[in-house]
Chain A
């Protein structure tokens, strides 16, 4: 069902974990649908993503896309990270089964949500980034990261 790359990223996910005092954190998805992704970004003063971590509740494809997406944005500038689309993540994984395409959407959304959080915290505007839609219930937003 899954490509070798998907299986590799599922079995050996890169960048799993949390970042304490992260520059930006984004959580997207919905436990009801069975997928939640959280991405932590550590961004330096030059707007370079120095480190990235993720946690994911979801299927094999959800874990693999999270893992691949974190690899793709690590070391990139904030503006470059915005160009990491779900399509690019999917291609890097040698494709996903049609029913799993929505998982790759979540990866893109999670990165955008984390960047949005970073922009808000630092009162800056990132060109081309709009407020991410999030299915996470309001209660979650009150949490401190």
Chain B
């Protein structure tokens, strides 16, 4: 069996064995419903509280401000829709960005259909929001600013504390989709002025199907799932106890090892970026050079198409992802890459490599070696490259 090099940790991560061990008893042994009265189930209730405490500690939040959900998408939906409803008397204007995850963008479209007005902020060539544009977008009827903590494709981190400060000054709620950032970079909801925060378990070596929404005390946000009294009556449904235990342990492990892990990942990431930029010509690094997630690298290779690259990488046992149209199921490449100003054909040639805690230097070197071969092979087949060589001139916008 050929070895597998997994560099798609922004898509999902492997469950940490310690997380799995903590979860397992809650399937067959401690399976009781946490709402039950008998003592057999009491331990499950306690397990949920402990997970909530672990997460609250990581965020500098209060325990009762953490609400478990089925994942990042649900948290995003809840934050936007329920806020919109609860604050509609104040106004119907929401500010977000053009590079949000679809869980935010499609929810915004849904709200637009129900009479809300959404401002989609531009980002610069590195994917960073312009604070002046944000200030100018604020209106008396603005009820919410939702800006992602770190982008899932290009890894760029936003000036979250600045945005939080501004939102607070203006009396506007601030939500951040931190699905890619939580557990990977330090977050403190008080210092950063965050009122709501979405996160997901499977991006931090926890299980899938579990996430949470942090809701600051005092934010009047309505119930999203109606039913029983779980999650302080704000999110009904019998708790996913194994999942909750899993995300709690994963969050704690991530927080405990964050400094060391992020240092290691940053070094490997920088090695990857340096080698690729030096050894593969006509390549662009997408996203901010330094203000990016420790584990994210995103490149555009001119004259080649992303899906072809992915298939060839796959044949070499390497898992990666691309913002090419062929991988999105539409004819347009990634909205994020277009928002940072890439022309379509450059966006089609993008490749995202996201490292994990198991990634080694040797793997990175192997991937770069393979990538060089693959890009060279695809370029030798590319009519765009042929034209470029025969014209012997630089292609515009290609850095």
Contacts and interface: CB of A to CB of B under 8 A. Distances in A.
Contacts of B324: 34, 59
A38 B325 contact: no
B386 A63 contact: no
Given A57-B304, A57-B305, A59-B307, A34 B325 contact: yes
A13 B383 contact: no
A36 interface: yes
A37 to B, nearest CB: 7
B384 A34 contact: no
B47 to A, nearest CB: 40
Interface in A79-117: 99-100
A11 interface: yes
Contacts of B1: none
Contact of A32 (B303, B306, B344, B385): B344
A2 B325 CA distance: 17
Contacts of B329: 99
Contacts of B384: 31, 36, 57
Interface in A106-145: 140, 143
Determine which residue in B303, B305, B348 has the highest number of CB atoms from chain A within 10 A of its CB, and name it. B305
Interface string B345-370: 10010000000000000000000000
Scoring A33, A58, A100 by chain B CB atoms within 10 A of each residue's CB, the highest score goes to A58
B396 interface: no
Interface string B81-110: 000000000000000000000000000000
A34 B387 CA distance: 16
Contacts of A100: 326
B230 interface: no
Interface string B374-385: 000000111111
Interface string B291-315: 0000000000001111110010001
Contacts of A10: 308, 311
A75 interface: no
A102 B60 CA distance: 52
Interface residues of B, number: 26
Interface in A5-37: 7, 10-11, 13, 16, 18, 27, 31-37
B333 A34 contact: yes
Interface string B325-352: 1100101010000000000110010000
Contact of B331 (A27, A33, A140): A33
Interface residues of A, number: 29
A7 to B, nearest CB: 8
Contact of A34 (B345, B380, B381, B386): B345
Contacts of A16: 380-381
A65 interface: no
A49 to B, nearest CB: 19
A59 B380 contact: no
Interface string B4-29: 00000000000000000000000000
Given A11-B315, A32-B344, A32-B345, A37 B333 contact: no
Given A11-B315, A31-B345, A34-B344, A59 B381 contact: no
Contacts of B304: 57
A62 B380 CA distance: 15
Contacts of A38: 383, 386
A2 B315 CA distance: 13
Contacts of A35: 305
A59 B322 CA distance: 12
A1 to B, nearest CB: 9
Contacts of B348: 31, 34
A121 B307 CA distance: 36
Interface in A42-62: 55-62
B345 A59 contact: no
A138 B307 CA distance: 27
B67 to A, nearest CB: 37
16 contacts: A13-B381, A31-B344, A31-B345, A32-B345, A33-B344, A34-B326, A34-B348, A36-B383, A55-B383, A56-B382, A57-B345, A59-B306, A60-B326, A61-B326, A63-B308, A100-B326
Interface of B: 303-308, 311, 315, 324-326, 329, 331, 333, 344-345, 348, 380-387, 390
Complex A-B, nearest 3 residue pairs according to Cβ-Cβ distance, in ascending order: A31-B345, A59-B307, A59-B326
Given A34-B305, A35-B305, A143-B387, 14 more contacts: A2-B311, A11-B315, A13-B381, A16-B380, A34-B344, A36-B382, A37-B383, A57-B303, A57-B304, A57-B345, A59-B307, A60-B308, A63-B308, A99-B329
Interface of A: 2, 7, 10-11, 13, 16, 18, 27, 31-38, 55-63, 99-100, 140, 143
